[in-house]
Structure 1
Amino acid sequence: MPTTGHILISGAPGVGKTTAIKKISDILKDKRLNLNGFYTREVRQDGTRIGFDIVNLVTGECKAFASVSHSSKAPKVGKYSVDISALESIALSALQLPTVESRSQNLVFLVDEIGKMELLSAKFKQAIKDLFAFNSDNIKIVATIPSVHTLPEVEAIRQRQDTVEIVVTRNNRNTVVERIINMLINNAIQ
């Protein structure tokens, strides 16, 4: 694995990428490692998905950012209207680069996800670009990405020399978290 070792998690929708991010977060918190980031969770009503919330992994702050019932003026991805301001209020604070004083500390960013809805925000795109451009062996990124190769921003990240992609399947999803934790800990996060 490359020295800086950023990890991309891909796989079909519903296979367990978000679950992996949440489990990784719990383990890192238990190990008292510094982390920041967010995850997106489905919002269901009567068994039907009606949207997504975005949740800060550290503070627990949560906002609805995609919904079948949002304003018709909001940008749409499929049947979902995306609330860019809600996305940015959680994601941008969770993706802030470390201060000069804290750059020597190890830090893991967990990003769920870099996808169509999130990339509607120019500020989010820039934050992701800045995060991956930040050159420090102390900073690791674990991000979920779509398995479909159609988003130029995601493809640029996939092609980086300092990333490795792990594809989650129904067969390996129970071992992916342990594999990623081992990769993180064995690559300078101690």
Structure 2
Amino acid sequence: MAQSAQNVARHVILTGPPGIGKTTLIHKVCGSLKEASIPTQGFYTEEVRAGGKRTGFDVVTLDGQRAPLARVGSDTSHGGREYRVGQYSVELKSFEQTALPVLSLKKMESGHYPVFVIDEVGKMEMFSKSFIQAVGKTLSAAKTTVLATIPIPKGRPIPFVEEIRARKDAVVFTVSRENRDALLAEVFQAVKDSYKTFGS
């Protein structure tokens, strides 16, 4: 029996400190969605390591495309503005060329949207105004379901991130070392309920 839309959150948001396992949980949820024949589209971020040290991050789409998101100490300004978060220089053009197409609001042959996966909406990604606009449109469009990760508040809040956290049509799960394994079933069910309620 279908649940009432009033009792189902449309978007599912994961938050928690860096390295706690949010991306791993996203991968597992996407695997469960695939087994349930629920289509997904989007991207995740992945650490890049060399010699045992983290040297940056890549953006990886769910269909396997990969591009640099940030690198330690690299100069990507090319005569223009350089975008930095701590020791990392953000590869803005590379990120936009890879991430923005998978957030395009194109319906599938079935006439429905896939579940949009956005890992993550954070400081590095926020340098892109086009990305902010795309995420906003995806969250606000009719009949969309978004599974996204956002950072926990630390220092000065990021206004757009806090807007997402406060959305009345979203449920927020805080991932910890204690609950990250147990959350899989709950997060999967929340996304599945949303897709069946709003996307069909």
Aligned-residue identity in percent: 36
Please list every run of at least 4 consecutive aligned residues from structure 1 whose deviation after the TM superposition is greater than 6 angstroms: none
What amino acid is the match of 2:94?
Answer: A
TM-score (norm 2): 0.86
Instruction: Report the CA distance shift for 1:129/1:106 in structure 2 as closer, same or farther (over 3 A).
Output: closer
**What does residue 192 of structure 2 align with?**
185
- Given candidates 175, 178, 181, the residue that maps to 1:171 is 178
Instruction: Give CA-to-partner distance per residue, 1:90-141, whole Å, 9 cap, x none.
Output: 1101111124x758425211110000000101110110111111122xx210
Instruction: Report the CA distance shift for 1:72/1:85 in structure 2 as closer, same or farther (over 3 A).
Output: closer
| Paired residues of 1:2 and 1:161 also in contact (CA < 8 A) | no
- Given candidates 142, 145, 151, the residue that maps to 2:150 is 145
Instruction: Report the CA distance shift for 1:45/1:31 in structure 2 as closer, same or farther (over 3 A).
Output: same
Please state how far the C-alpha of 1:171 moved relative to its aligned partner.
0.4
Residue 61 (1) aligns with residue 68 (2): no
TM-score (norm 1): 0.90
- Given candidates 32, 36, 40, the residue that maps to 2:41 is 36
- Report the structure number with the largest CA radius of gyration: 2
**What does residue 129 of structure 2 align with?**
122
**What does residue 80 of structure 1 align with?**
88
**Partner Cα separation in structure 2 for residue 113 and residue 141 of structure 1:** 12
Structure 2: gaps of 5 or more residues: 1-5
Please state how far the C-alpha of 1:12 moved relative to its aligned partner.
1.0
Please state how far the C-alpha of 1:56 moved relative to its aligned partner.
0.4
